Amino acid sequence: MTMESNDKRDLIKYRLDQADETIVDVRILIENNRMRAAINRIYYGMFYSLLALGIKNEFETSKHAQLIGWFNKSFINAGLIDTKYGKIINKAFNRRTKGDYDIIIDFDKDTVIEMYNEMQEFISKIRNYIEIE
């Protein structure tokens, strides 16, 4: 294995580890009734897993909409990953944006817990896809 492929593998692992760390962070935020912060971290956990998928497939960007667009086009629309995962990341992105930028926004605990469960499923799906690809 070349040095470049080792670096690539390490970077993919780093991004997936970041995603896993956010799962723990979100649980702590929910337990402490920090729903807006939890929504932010839920989205970022999925974003980190998509960054890993991008690295695996030679696609790199720091732009959120560009990464999600690439994922939807290359994996969801292509039929490689179920459409529900496209809906999950789009919903999380929209809610994270509202939570970060709207003046007053509250997220109820049931919604956040549902998104937390979707986040875990999303990250697991992306991890499994990277490993079998």
Q: Is 48 exposed, middle or buried (CB count within 10 Å of its CB: 0-12, 13-18, 19+)?
A: buried
DSSP state of 76: I
pLDDT in tens, 26-75: 999 999 999 989 999 999 999 999 999 999 999 988 899 999 999 999 99
Contact criterion met (CB below 8 Å) for 73 and 89: no
Looking at every residue in the chain, the average pLDDT score rounds to 92
Q: Is 0.85 topped by the overall pTM?
A: yes
Q: Cβ contacts of residue 30 below 8 Å, gap of 6+? A: 38, 109, 112, 113, 116
Distance (Å, whole) CA 19 – CA 7: 18
Domains located in the chain, CATH noted: 3-132 (1.20.120.330)
